[in-house]
Structure 1
Amino acid sequence: MAHKKGQGSSRNGRDSNPQMLGIKLYGGQTAQPGSIICRQRGTRWTPGRNVGVGRDWTIFSLIEGKVKFDRNGRRINVLPAAEFAAAEAAAAAAK
């Protein structure tokens, strides 16, 4: 039995923990005040109405409402339920 690990294995064995980045609440889902909508590095998604940005670029809700994406899915807003329904109706009428 070898008493030393060998050249390759002694240099391996390190792994970083996952950062759990990405969208946590999708369009149409209900957000509570303070709930995290997305975790990111940099502004991959930009903040819109009724959302805040944390020190690590986390986007979170400031009000209770529904999540709405615009600008081709790159801007995140949280709209009150009544306003969200009106926006969805207007989008459906435009089609």
Structure 2
Amino acid sequence: MKKFGSEQVVPGNIIVRQRGTKFYPGTNVGMGKDHTLFALEAGVVRFHSGKQDRKYVSVDAMAEAAE
């Protein structure tokens, strides 16, 4: 586990290094050929369950700050 829930990430940050698919990619998360999950967008990491009792990792995109 490289990043935990509620941590902020930028595109390319590794979230989970794993052997096999213990966690599946959700919204704004990609999976490498070695099953590593990484962020595709800047935002906040969120772990949740989904279909068939699978565990998913998503990145909730951050709203752009109005200046």
TM range (shorter): 0.7 to 0.9
Cα RMSD (Å): 1.6
Calculate percent identity across the aligned residue pairs: 43
Q: Scaled by the length of structure 2, what TM-score is found?
A: 0.82
- Which structure carries more helix by proportion? 1
**Residue matched to 1:34:** 12
Counterpart amino acid of residue 25 in structure 2? P
Q: Summarize the alignment of residues 1-95 of structure 1 with structure 2, pairs less than 5 Å apart.
A: 23-71=1-49, 74-82=55-63
Deviation at 1:81, TM superposition (A): 2.5
Over 2 Å off, 4+ runs: none
Structure 1: segments with no counterpart, 5+ residues: 1-22, 83-95
SS in 2 for 1:46: strand
Q: Scaled by the length of structure 1, what TM-score is found?
A: 0.59
Give the length in aligned residue pairs.
60
- Which structure carries more strand by proportion? 2
Bigger Rg, which one: 1
Structure 2: segments with no counterpart, 5+ residues: none
